[in-house]
Amino acid sequence: MSSEPPTPPTSLSTDLIKTLNESTPDYLRDVATYAEALSEYKEREARLEEEADQKKVEKRPDDLPDDVPAKATITIKEINDNRYYYWQWREGDRVKSKYKRPVNPDE
């Protein structure tokens, strides 16, 4: 083992590094055990969420055009006192829309 202390990752805050450097070996082991368990939990949750999102994407509506992503939702826009359905989805920071059809007044 080296006689030098380990170099902390640059992603850790100065306050956290200071707290860890002032901690006992037992406390550090507890932190490491907790951090590992928390990391595994968060990775599992992210994986489950991704799988759920994938299942939602697989259920593509029959009337969804090929150039509209499965994650799109239907919104109603009013233009000149007329109402229209639009597919709407997010691409990065932008919201995209594509015309679907007029809203039937009987709906």
Residue 49 has pLDDT above 90, yes or no: no
pLDDT for 2-48, tens place per residue? 788 899 999 999 999 999 999 999 999 999 999 999 999 999 998 88
pLDDT for 71-94, tens place per residue? 888 899 989 989 999 999 998 889
Closest CA to 76 of 94, 102, 95, 96: 102
